[in-house]
Amino acid sequence: MNIEHLTGLIAAPFTPMHDNGNLHLELIPAYYALLKNNGVNGAFICGSTGEGVSLTLRERKLVAEAWAAATGNRQPFKVITLLGGTSVAECIELAKHAREAGLYAVAFTAPFYFKPANVKVLADMCIDIAAAVPDMPFYYYHIPVLTGVHFNMIDLLQAIDGHCPNFAGIKYTHEDFMDFLSCLRFRNGHYDMLWGRDENMLPALSIGAKGAVGSTFNYAAPLYLRLIQAWENGELEKARELQQRSIDMIRLLGKYGGIATGKAYMKMIGLDCGGFRRPVSNMSAERLEAFAKDVAALDFTSFSSQLPAAVKG
């Protein structure tokens, strides 16, 4: 398979929910329009931001189908779905479903309950699942802060290389720049390495990252597009200033409770995706009011994503 290297911003969408916690799939066409309107090149669905581990098997299939229907699988916009990580059989079922739906690619993350004993075990799992959809790009999603699986990814690439023709690359959500650079340069840059830490985009660009997957691209894509442009133009101080604005925005995620705060940012731009499912906690009305004040102090509207006029209407 000819491995395409994705560039620019790939958003990690939230899964829209109604107030009762049921899926709000009818919102996905407007969500797709939002991403396209703000220069985002794709969507990594059912990941950490998308609460994939909190969805049932049937719900994950419905989300995949909704994104396929909304996008019409139009190129160059790419939709990648995370299969999960605890059941190989279930991952294979979801991968085959993603292919039937017409999605671009699938991704797999390390089992986080019964963890792989070594890199070879993890590589063998990737190879087995990828073989079920040999005509689809297959990505590994490296996020050790959540999975607790801390293998170096250069070791995974070496273990998989030559054994999995559709292994496309890695969504790298970690801070090990030594390991990331080694992966970028492995086999003369053969594999697609997608950066996954929005707050560290600038240093990732400096060592060669070309594509990134991030949750904050949902509501602040213009900020990152300006950052990339500043880097490419050699305007380093401007790029640093823009990265700092990203950091200031992301600090509010921690201040107001973590990942669920992202859906509060979505409300600020006019796309209400509801709340998160348990065990993730959502903000109270009082906290949301305080959050709105902190967001205004960031001059958020000067770099936030904007809904298309047709969606607003």
Residue type, 151: F
Q: Map residue 41 onto helix, strand or coil.
A: coil
Residue 24: Cβ within 10 Å count: 18
Q: Give the three-class secondary structure for 192.
A: strand
Does 263 participate in catalysis according to the annotation?
no
Selected catalytic residue, list 31, 139, 141, 172: 141
CA-CA distance, 42 to 213, in Å (whole number)? 9
Q: Which residues contact 261 (CB under 8 A, 6 or more apart)?
A: 252, 253, 255, 283, 291
Which residue is catalytic, options 61, 78, 171, 263? 171
CB-CB contact of 188 with 181 (8 Å): no
Contact criterion met (CB below 8 Å) for 103 and 67: yes
104 among known catalytic residues: no
Residue recorded with tokens 């075990």: 121
Closest CA to 302 of 268, 275, 260: 268
Q: How many CA atoms lie within 13 A of 26 on its CB side?
A: 2
Any idea which residues carry the catalytic annotation?
Answer: 141, 171
